[in-house]
Amino acid sequence: MAEQSIAGKKVAFLLTDGVEQVELTSPWNAVKEAGGEPTLVSPASGKVQGYNGTEKGETFAVDLPVAQADAGDFHALVIPGGVVNADHLRVDKDAQAFTRAFFEQHKPVASICHGPWMLIDTDVVRGRNLTSYHTLRTDLTNAGANWTDEECVVDQGLVTSRNPDDLPAFNAKVIEEIAEGEHAGQTP
């Protein structure tokens, strides 16, 4: 995994309570192993509650409130899944603005499982190729995305995957896209 270096690159992880724990911890660790600096950004304060499916998992300390976060301070964004996490994030105006700013700045964005719900409400999926957890297919296609059932889809700096089984491929592409930097085609 640590074949590519992203030394010194700052990566925002946007999430809230209900995050699917492994979809946070696995890419987080991959970023750290590759030399990146992950930061937990959230509309929640204090700590967020992770889940392993429907069972409570660990809690994770919030590093930066999303209302104070600036995409200009980061090189990339990762949006983990979890039904509750994604459903709450997608309606948060600060989270929407923060996410959209990464697209406006042509920076890599990665999202897995239910995380792409956020991309619908941020209005950045029209004409883009992506995947997600299968239950989001209709939502994403209705929002104009080109949805496919693949392990990992990369479209001009946008990395998406379906579920925790896809994490090895997802993590590898996240690191690759961060290492490549800005993508001209990564636009809202």
Active site residues: 113-114
Angstrom distance (rounded) from CA 105 to CA 72:
8
Compute the half-sphere exposure of residue 113: CA atoms within 13 Å on the CB side of its CA: 24
Compute the half-sphere exposure of residue 31: CA atoms within 13 Å on the CB side of its CA: 25
Residue 51, both tokens: 């889940």
Tell me which H or E stretch contains 55.
Answer: strand 55-61
Angstrom distance (rounded) from CA 121 to CA 142:
12
> Is residue 16 within 8 Å of residue 88, measured between CB atoms?
yes
> Is residue 51 within 8 Å of residue 23, measured between CB atoms?
no
Compute the half-sphere exposure of residue 49: CA atoms within 13 Å on the CB side of its CA: 10
Residue 91, both tokens: 């309606």
Angstrom distance (rounded) from CA 28 to CA 127:
29
